[in-house]
Amino acid sequence: MANISELQQHRLKFKPALPNVLRNGAAALKIKQGKPTQSVSDQETVKKIFPHTYGMPEISFVKGKNADVKKPIRAAVVLSGGQAPGGHNVIAGILDGLKKANPKNKLFGFLGGPGGVLENKIKEITPALMASYRNTGGFDLIQSGRTKIETEEQLAKAKENILKNNFDAFIVVGGDDSNTNAGVIAEYFKKNGAPASVIGVPKTIDGDLKNELIETSFGFDTATKIYAELVGNICRDVNSARKYWHFVRLMGRSASHITLEVGFKTQPNITLIGEEVLAKNMTLSQVIDSIAAVITARAADGKNFGVCLVPEGLIEFIPEMKELIAALNDVLAENETALAAGSSFAEKKDFVISKLPANLAALMKSLPAGIAAQLMLDRDPHGNVQVSLIETEKLLIEMLSVKLKTIKAEGKYGGKFSAITHFFGYEGRCGAPSNFDANYCYALGYNAAVLALNKCSGYLSSVRKLVKAPAQWECGGVPLTMMMNIERRKGKEKPVIKKALVELNGAPFKQLEKTRGEWAKTESYVFPGPIQFCGPASVTDMTTKTLQYEQKKK
């Protein structure tokens, strides 16, 4: 690894803290089984799809002798989907967990994501190689990819390559879609007699892979700190210049967790939460009205400036837009050949509109050409609309400009509206992990190694009680099928891990409700500055506000 910065040199010296229960390695741990589990919904359907892995119990690790884990094994790891800070520490944790059990254990990485599994591109991850990647950002040790292993041919090829390399365990580091894929592979292996265990690790900066036993996905802590630094800088600029409205769209795909967390860290004037928009059944016009109300109220106080946070997936939460996107997904999936033959965007748009119900066709026609084009972009390999490419903040500004002119014509607004847009997404995905993520990721990886050594297939690595000191964290595994439901993807009903959205009855959102009225009127901005690696533990090791509010009473 070339070009190591001064900060990276310093971070390589950081020693992640392991939970007490893991410190003596897998040979000093026994499995404690909980009750049998069931999927979060659609139980009968999910059970039929996963007959060999459905209903497995939750497991936790407790102290006890376990000589069975001392037999040498060969394990493989793959990074799947978008990057998230701390991935290298997950791999370091897996490696150290394996070597602690038996120095003869070996770890290999599939290169370039799941595509590397199908192409059998591997490299051994040795302690010497790992040494220069510990506590660093990025996924560049083995890279990532978005190929989905789902067809019978792909599953057979994955099985062939896993067996060809004599791998006893296959660890998938990914988000909800990637871990759904891990569940599919685990089921396929058990059905077809492949002895390798399949284990998942919860990764996504979006924060939407969570439940009672997966309290947060790794990378969320670091990414929100990076975004909060950038938004805080903008807040300070706004408070200094006092002449612009800044609209900041934040990554997060189909959930608003990032926006909520950055809102807590910076206290902007407006923090839009997509889940609230959906619950209130708000139209696009009503969303505009709510923003305009804050803008006009501030203008009445002589404040023609402010900051508005926009979640990346907002457009999918507006019911009429959500309905349109769902219909577009089906039309695009069912008419790929006809659309490919279209010679221009206008021709393709007209074709798509002709396939939509009248109300959705009218909505599609009313949208600015740029937004309509972005809604028709190719879906990702999992069938999701690529919301990171939809410039929602520009749509809001365009519609607000029209709305405010109307209000001004009525004599109800005498302010000036000048807006600037930002999109913060990729800036946060490969940052050097915070102390929290460095510790958490290392524990997740080490825990995954223990699951592999115990031949626990179809499980997701779980490290919890995260608001406590790392020594007190609890470890175990959650059945992947436990988190699944049935959703429509690419025109078909498929099992997927259910996304955890912002809960409007949850403590974090309730906290936002208490404070956002004051934030709207005043300059309550907070400027968190850069991520702190040195200083008191109260700064360097603190977790997210979201987790603090969620676990305040636990």
Query: Active-site residue numbers?
Result: 206
60 contacts 409 by C-beta, under 8 angstroms: no
What is the four-CA torsion angle of 260, 547, 206, 107, rounded to 10 degrees? 160
Number of H helices, E strands in the chain: 22, 16
358 contacts 320 by C-beta, under 8 angstroms: no
- As a whole number of Å, the end-to-end CA separation of the chain is 43
Two structure tokens written together for 80: 């799947």
Distance CA 203, CA 217 (A): 5
SS3 annotation, 389-436: HCCHHHHHHHHHHHHHHHHHHCCCCCCCCCEEEEEECHHHCCCCCCHH
494's enclosing H/E stretch is strand 492-497
Distances (CA, A) of 28 to 75, 120, 420, 463: 20, 34, 57, 18
Two structure tokens written together for 544: 């997210």
How many residues does this entry show for the chain?
554
351 contacts 335 by C-beta, under 8 angstroms: yes
Residue 434 CA, distance from chain mean position: 17
The widest CA-to-CA distance across the chain, in whole angstroms, is 80
DSSP string over 441-466: HHHHHHHHHHHHHTT-TTEEEEEE-T
126 contacts 87 by C-beta, under 8 angstroms: no
Indicate the burial class of 281 (C-beta count within 10 angstroms; 0-12, 13-18, 19 or more).
exposed
